[in-house]
Structures are given as structure tokens and as C-alpha cells.
A and B are shown apart, each in its own frame.
Chain A
Amino acid sequence: MSIQNLNTYDPFADAIKSSEDDVQDGLVHVRIQQRNGRKTLTTIQGLSSEYDLKKIVRACKKEFACNGTVVEHPEYGEVLQLQGDQRENICQWLTKSGLVKPEQLKVHGF
């Protein structure tokens, strides 16, 4: 027979769990840059370094049918670059895959 009151209960269970879940902290900035002509470039800055950006870019390239690369920047860390205006695509993809929460996404540009 168990006494409910004496059950062990970890008061920090929630906190630990959520901190483990959230690898991504801080905002992810999605920007667009104009290139020559009507060509554009999408940059995704601020993805957590815990993630393997090379894998992400590989998946994105396939998904959006565009080229892309990972650029190392001294201040901003690893930044993802994708060809074309992929802002909506990448936002949807990041939230759908659960890498980033929608409120952590910040889209810049026009």
C-alpha cells in the first residue's frame, strides 16, 4: 500500500526537462539580400551550434530545390545561406521539424 503524500517528487523535473528540450535559445534571424538582377539570397543566423548545420543545409537544399551553404562568421557563428527567397519555406520547415519555435523566428527584409 502506498501513501500518496510520501511519494518522491522531483520539483525540478519540469525545469530540467525543458532545458534539455530547448537546445535553441535566442532568436533565429531570417534575412533576405538582393543580388544582381532579381536574384536573392536568404541567410539564417542564430541557429544553435548544437545542431548540425551541414545536415540541415543538406535537407533544405533537397526540400526547397536550391543550393545552399554554411558560412562561418567570427561574430555570428555558423550562418546558413540559401539561394533565392526561401524565407517562408525555411520558417515553415524549421518549425515543422521542431528545431525552432515559431516565436523564436524573426524574419527581416521586405
Chain B
Amino acid sequence: MEEDMVFDPSLKKKKKKKTGFDIEAALAGETKTTDAPVETGDVDVPEDDSLDLDNFGKKKKKKKTFFNLEELESALPESKDKKPPAEEPEQQEEEIMDDLDLDIDFTRTKKKKKKRNLDEIVAEEDVKTEDQEKGDDLQDDWFGSDRDYTYDELLERVFDIMREKNPSMVSGKKQKFIMRPPQVVRIGTKKTSFANFTEICKTLHRQPKHLLDFLLAELGTSGSVDGNSQLIIKGRFQQKQIENVLRRYIKEYVTCHTCRSPDTILQKDTRLFFLQCETCGSRCSVASIKSGFQAVTGKRAAMRAKTA
């Protein structure tokens, strides 16, 4: 708790809002912070704080222990073999990649502006508090004893250092791709309006036309974007159904097929669409959008009159 007080100014506005959506995570985070041993007993603590704030700005909140750990280790005479643990991380990294489940959250509440940041931060906090605890354990174990390190401890240490050196990896560990839910409203009895269509296109960094093509092909209907940039689809659809289709679109055309990062670019190259990942640099082709067979659902007489 004390820590929270100390660091509050940096992220209080985020913290306040945390009520609605991710209670479990938030709770977990909070309990952990309270439980986390504060008795690091180092004199460096205040220094580290200042360091933290300077270097990492508001995002990095609980770096304290890592710094301690590092300093401690550099102080320790036998910080000799860094090689053996360095070999291992690859395995674990793969696991992490697997874990990196891109759960696409269409959270349903109305106040979405803050949410994205919020969830990320909450997730990060969780990660960090866990790390902190572990870090403390390690520190306690190693400190003042001559015994050999166990494998787990070394592994932990390497990961701590890695996370500390490139903070972007921490957020990459448990990545959540959160976007605003589609606002779907029925117009009359036969049409459906997808109000924030353009906005969603923007968050996905995709051409509205591409998403439009996909939606219409998947839903097997026709539709168009009207004057106030909302999409009017023929037929009755509910928000849940549109969400499903959007999810499929994101899986197919937004997230990288290799590393599942949503940070991708879709480019057209010789009639084929390629998905270029900004994170891992992979490039793969994606299926073109085909609506396939469309059965005749309208009045056949009317169709015949039109063609003839």
C-alpha cells in the first residue's frame, strides 16, 4: 500500500477508473501489492524511485525491486556465469508466445475511452507484482549465502533483466487487443446500421472498403456506407453476430499469423493481399474475399423482369 501511495501521482487517473470491467484482475493486482513484502531493507530505494520516474515516465511503476536486484548482483562477487541461463530463455519465450493469446475483447460498457489504457495497465501491474514477489524471493534466497543458484532462480533472473531492459516486452507478454464494440442498431424491420463502422476500421488500420467487402461477403447480404459514415446492412443482425464476424475478420486479416500481433499492414501486391507484420516482420498472403455462391432469395419474377 505504501508503494501505491508513493507512486500514485504517476497513474492515479487510471487507477480511479478501474471499477467496471476487470474486477478479478484488479483485485488480484491489489491484493498482491498489499501482500508484497515491502521490507526490501535497502538504502537505495528512494534513489531507485527517482530513477524510475525519470527514465520510464508514468508507465513503469514497480521497477524498484529489479533495480535493487541488479545492483545487488553487481555487488555480489560471484555473478560469474551468465551464459548458461542465457541459452534457456528461448524455450520459455516460445511458451510465452503461445500464451500470448490475443483475446479480442469487445467489452460492452459505454465508457471506452479510457479502457484500453486501463486494461493494459492493470495487466502490467499484475505482471509486475508477480515479478516483484519473485524478485524478492530470489533476493532473499541469494543474499548473504554462498550456495549455488538453482536453475529456476537463474532463469527468473534472466527474465527479470530482460523485462527490465526492454519494457515493451512486458506488455507483450500478455497481450490484449481491446477495441470498442460495434454499435449495431436496427433501422426499421429490414435494415441494420453499424454505427461506428469507420471508427472500427480506423482502430484496425484497415481500409473501410476491405472490411465492408468482408462483412457483406460473410453475411451474404448487400449494404453501403451512408452519409454519416455508418454502415447500413440489409437484413436483421444483432451486435453479437456482427462481433463474431468482426472477430473472424481480425483473426484472418488483422493479427499476424506468426506472432499474433495486431500491429500489421495489409498491402495489395499483384492481385494478392499480403499481411505484413510490424512486430516480427513476417509477411504472408491472406485469402481474398469471396462471397461465393449466393442463392436466390428475392422474388424471382422481379429478377427476371430486371434482366429481361
Contacts and interface: CB of A to CB of B under 8 A. Distances in A.
A108 B218 contact: yes
A29 B244 CA distance: 17
Closest 3 CB pairs of A and B: A110-B241, A34-B235, A33-B220
- Residues of B in contact with A, size category: 10 to 19
A45 B217 CA distance: 14
A110 B295 contact: no
A109 B236 contact: no
A31 B236 CA distance: 16
B178 interface: no
Interface in A27-85: 29, 31-36, 38, 41, 43, 45, 71, 73, 76, 79, 81
Given A34-B235, A110-B242, A110-B245, A43 B295 contact: yes
Nearest to A69: B295
Tell which of A33, A45, A71 has the most Cβ of chain B within 10 Å: A33
Given A108-B218, A108-B220, A81 B244 contact: no
Interface residues of A, number: 19
A71 B219 contact: no
B293 A45 contact: yes
A38 B235 CA distance: 9
Contacts of A34: 219-221, 235-236, 297
A109 B217 CA distance: 8
Contacts of B235: 34
B236 A38 contact: yes
A76 B292 contact: yes
Contact of A41 (B217, B242, B297): B297
B293 A31 contact: yes
The dominant DSSP class at the B interface is loop
Interface of A: 29, 31-36, 38, 41, 43, 45, 71, 73, 76, 79, 81, 108-110
B294 interface: yes
A110 B297 contact: no
Interface of B: 217-221, 235-237, 240-242, 244-245, 292-295, 297
A45 B295 CA distance: 11
15 contacts: A29-B292, A29-B293, A33-B295, A34-B219, A34-B236, A35-B297, A38-B236, A43-B293, A43-B295, A71-B295, A76-B293, A79-B293, A109-B218, A110-B240, A110-B244
Contacts of A29: 292-293
A110 B192 CA distance: 14
Contacts of B241: 110
B294 A33 contact: yes
Contacts of A76: 292-293
A97 B9 CA distance: 64
B297 A32 contact: no
A21 B241 CA distance: 37
Given A35-B297, A41-B297, A109 B219 contact: yes
Tell which of B219, B241, B242, B244 has the most Cβ of chain A within 10 Å: B219
Contacts of B217: 108
A32 B241 CA distance: 12
A38 B217 CA distance: 19
Contacts of B244: 110
A109 B220 contact: yes
Contacts of A41: 295, 297
Contacts of B292: 29, 31, 45, 76, 108
Contacts of B240: 110
A108 B216 CA distance: 11
Contacts of B245: 109-110
Contacts of B219: 34, 109-110
Contacts of B294: 33, 43
Contacts of A110: 218-219, 237, 240-242, 244-245
